Structure 1
Amino acid sequence: MPLVMSEFRANGLFKNTHFSTIYSAKIRQVKGVHQERERVTLPDGDFVDIDWSYTLSRKRTQKVALLFHGLEGNAQRTYMLAMAKLLIRNGYDVAAVNFRGCSGSDNLLYRSYHSGETDDMRFIIQMIAEKDLYNEIFLYGVSLGGNALLKYAGEKKGIPSQVKAIATVGVPADLKASLEQLNYSENWVYRTSFLVDLRGKYRKKMVKYPELMTSEVYATIKTLKDFDDVYTAPAHGFKNALDYYEKASSFELLPEIELPTLILNAKNDSFLHGDCYPYEHATSSNDLFLETPDHGGHVGFYKRGEFYYSEQRTLDFFEEKTP
C-alpha cells in the first residue's frame, strides 16, 4: 500500500545524478547551526560523540530527533546540518550522532562502525529515552545510517515507546547490490573517495594494533570489498565481506517494521541498485512508505530555497505521523 507518488521534480543540471550528488556534498553550504558536544561512553568502554542543537522556540520542547550520517560522514556534513536547522526551527531538539571514530577523534577499540551496527544506535536511543525529557523521539538516517536505522526498526529489540517515526534517505538496503552499483566505471569518483578515507583510517589503526593490522595487508586494499574483507568483517564478527553484506543489509528485515517509516531513494541514485528499491515490501506493508522520484542522485534533492526536498519531506512525515 504505502508506495508514495513523489512530488519532487528536479530542474536543469540537477536532473544529472552526478551533478546533484556532488553539488550537494561538496558545494552546498549550511550555516548558523550551533552544536554542543556530548561524549557518551558505550557499554564496551568505547565512546561516541553526539552534537546537540536545541530548538529556537522559547518553550521547552517535548520532541527530539536523532540524526545518523552516512559512510565516513559526521554530524557536520551538510545534509546533517540542514536537517538539524529545519528541525530546530520547527520545535525539535536535535541529537546528531557521530558513529565511532567519525567525530574527529579516533575511537578506542579495534572495531569501529559499519552499515548494520545497531547495538550502539539502540544504546543511544534508549539512553535518550530514559532521560525522560522527551515524549516524542524521531529518527533520521542517511545512506549507511539509514540502512542501520531500518535494520534497528526491523529487529524490534527494545524500541522505546517514545519513538514515533523514522525517515531515511538514499538507503543501500541491499549492501551487495549497492557495492555492485558503485563498481560501475561511471561511479569511480565515489568509490575512490570512500577508499581513500577508509585506507587512511586503517593506517591510523595500524599504529595501535600492529598484531592485527599490517602494512602488508594494507597494501592489498585496492577496492571497497578488499577493505571489508580485511577489516570490516573480522573487526565486527563477520566471516568475510559477503557475509557482512548479507547480515548487515536491512532488506530482509523491512517486513518486520511496525513504525511509520519513510524511505526516500531516487531512481537515479548512483549508490543504489536492485533491492535497494524494496517495492514489494512497501506494497505489502502498512508502515513502510517508499518514495522513489526519478531524480535526486545520492542525497541531492535540490529545490530552490534554503532546504532540500528531502529535508522538508522528512519534517512533513514526522508531523504527519505524530499522534
Structure 2
Amino acid sequence: MSTIESFNPSAWLRPPHIQTLLPRLVFRSRQWYGQWETFALNDGDFIELCWHPHATPDSQRPLVVLFHGLEGSVDSPYIWQTMEELAEHGIDSVVMHFRGCGKTPINLLPRAYHSGDIGDPTAVILALRERYPNRSIHTIGFSLGGNMLVQLMSTELADVLTSAAVCCAPLDLMSCSKRIDRGFSRLYRKYLLTPLKQKFTIKQQRGMFKDCTQLNSLDVNKMTSFLEFDDKVTAPLHGFSDVEDYYHRASGKQFLKQIRKPTLIVHANDDPFLGPDVVPHLDEMNPHVTYEKHPHGGHMGFINYQHRFYSWLPTRLVNWVSEKEAEQL
C-alpha cells in the first residue's frame, strides 16, 4: 500500500464544494460526443456504449473501458476529459452506460443498476475481449462505477484485464449514505435523487411494476434520503432484502483483499460525498492495490487553474494506464 499526496490546487480552489461543483460550470457539455453502440443483454434489456470519436476498432492499441458514477454519462466532465487524455496518448476508450443512463433514459426492464452491479460490466468486458483478443484492456471506474469495479477486480474476470483505476468510490455505502445527509452535502443528495425518482415514476406510469404491488403503489416523490430510496426501491428491485443487506453486500471495501490485478484507488480527504469509513486500513489491502488519498479534490473535482481551468485527475489516470501498459512489454 502506498499513499501519495500530490494534488495541490491554488488556495482559492481548495474548498471541497468548489472542487465538486466547478467542473459542471467551467467545462462545456459534450452530449454529441463519440460513436454510440447499443449492447444487447441476455435478459432482454440493453445498455449503451459510447466510443471515443477517434477510436479505431481494428487497431491493436490499448483499450480502456470506463464506468461512470450515479446518473453519470459520457457527458460528465470526468468521463469525456479522461477519454480525451487517453486519446492524446494513443489509447482507445469506451464508456459503458449503466441501464437508463445513455441516450435512452428508460430501459426495458423494471430493474435498473446499483453500486454492486457487476453483471452488465462483466458481459461487456467479455464481449470486448472476444471481439479484440489481442488488445490489452484496462478499466477505470468513477464514484459508483469505481465501487462496482473494486468488486469486479476481485473476480476471475480480472484475469482478462491489465489494470484498473478507481476514483472517489463510496467503498462503504452506509457511511456515505449518512454523510450525504449532513450539511451542504444534502444539496448533492437532492441533485442525484431527483432523476432516480423521475425514472422510477415513468416506469410506474408505464405499468412496469404491475406485478409488484409494493413498488406499483410507492410514492417516491416523498422520499428525501438515499437510505429510504435504497430501502424501498433499489434493494427490492435488485434482489436484496433491505437497505442494510444491499449496502453490506455491495460495498467495495470488503473485496480489496481479493483484487487480482494492479488497481489504483484515488480518494480526496475532503470529498463531501464520502464518509470516513471508505478509507481502507492496511490489513484490508493487498499488494495489487495502490492507494492515494489527497488532501483536496472534492468529489470528482481535482480542479486547478493555470491560464485556464483543468482537471488533474485525467492525467493521473492516463499515467497509471500507461505505466501498467509498459509493464506488459
TM-score normalized by the length of structure 2: 0.91
Letter in 2 for 1:255: K
Alpha-carbon contact 2:110-2:209 (below 8 Å) kept: no
Find the aligned partners of 1:230 and 1:153 in 2 and give their Cα distance: 29
CA-atom RMSD, angstroms?
A: 2.2
Distance 1:26 1:206, change over 3 A: farther
Out of 172, 179, 182, the residue aligned to residue 174 of structure 1 is 172
Q: Percent identity?
A: 29
Confirm or deny: 8 A CA contact 1:177 1:276 kept in the other structure: yes
Superposed CA deviations along residues 65-122 of structure 1, whole A, max 9, x for unmatched, are 0011000111221111000001111111111111001113111001010000001111
Please tell me the residue identity of whatever aligns with 2:296: H
Which residue number corresponds to residue 320 of structure 2? 317
- Name 1:139's counterpart in structure 2: 139
- Range moving further from structure 2, 28-37 or 9-18: 28-37
Q: Distance in 2 between matches of 1:30 and 1:222?
A: 28
Match of 2:236 in 1: 234
SS at match of 1:193: helix
Partner of 2:303: 302
CA drift at 1:54: 5.1
1:55 Cα offset (Å): 4.6
1 CA distance for matches of 2:124 and 2:261? 18
Any stretches of 5+ residues in structure 2 without a counterpart? none
1:251–1:275 CA contact under 8 A, matched in 2: no
Match of 2:74 in 1: 75
Deviations 1:193-242 (A, max 9, x none): 11211111111110232423335433542321111111100110000111
The one-letter code of the counterpart of 2:270 is N
Alignment of 1:205 with 2:203, yes or no, is yes
Whether the 8 Å CA contact 1:6–1:293 is kept in 2: the answer is yes
Q: Which residue of 2 aligns with 1:221?
A: 223
3-state SS of 2:194 partner: helix
Q: Given the two structures, how large is their TM-score scaled by the length of structure 1?
A: 0.92
1:269 deviation in Å?
A: 0.3
**Residues 261-280 of structure 1 mapped to structure 2, 5 A cutoff:** 261-280=263-282
- 1:110 equivalent in structure 2: 110
Cα deviations by residue, 1:28-74 (Å, 9 ceiling, x for unpaired) = 236698401110101111100000115579x9342100011000111
Letter in 1 for 2:100: G
Residues 126 and 159 of structure 1 are in contact (CA less than 8 Å); yes or no, is this contact kept in structure 2?
no
Cα distance, 1:32–1:197 mapped onto 2, change above 3 Å = closer
> Is contact 2:65–2:96 with CA below 8 Å preserved after alignment?
yes
Structure 1 alignment gaps of length 5 or more = none
Distance change in 2, residues 1:310/1:281 (3 Å): farther
243 and 26 in structure 1: CA distance in 2 versus 1, 3 angstrom threshold: farther
2:35 matched to which residue of 1?
Answer: 36
CA pair 306-34 structure 1, distance change in 2 beyond 3 A: farther
Distance 1:321 1:157 in 2: 19
Give the letter aligned to residue 164 of structure 2.
I
What are the within-5 Å matches in structure 2 for residues 123-138 of structure 1? 123-132=123-132, 134-138=134-138
